[in-house]
Amino acid sequence: MEVKIGIQLAQRELVIETALSAEEVEHAVEEALADGRPLKLADSKGNTILVAPDKIAYLELNETSQRQVGFGAR
């Protein structure tokens, strides 16, 4: 799952590749917004990302798919 987080007053979005499902990410965001605690997500490399909930502008969730390599790959 690819998660894009728009941060207020930042020109670039934060892009995270995670093994979490869309429902798990949504639940984590809802908890962070309700409690005022930082949004805490783990990426696929084992890193932990923390984002202040009052700085989140938007979230975009995309299912990742295998990229095709080469010419005429089907």
Least confident range from 22-26, 30-34, 66-70: namely: 66-70
pTM summary value: 0.78
| 44 belongs to a structural domain | yes
| 10 belongs to a structural domain | yes
**Mean of the per-residue pLDDT values for the chain?**
89
Average pLDDT of the segment spanning 40-60: 94
| 69 belongs to a structural domain | no
How many domains does one find in the chain? 1
- Cross-strand bridge partners of residue 7: 56
- Cross-strand bridge partners of residue 4: 15, 60
Asked if residues 12 and 68 have their Cβ atoms less than 8 Å apart, the reply is no
| 26 belongs to a structural domain | yes
pLDDT of residue 63: 83
Domain that holds residue 41: 2-62
Tell me, what CATH number does 39's domain have? 2.30.30
d(CA 5, CA 61): 9
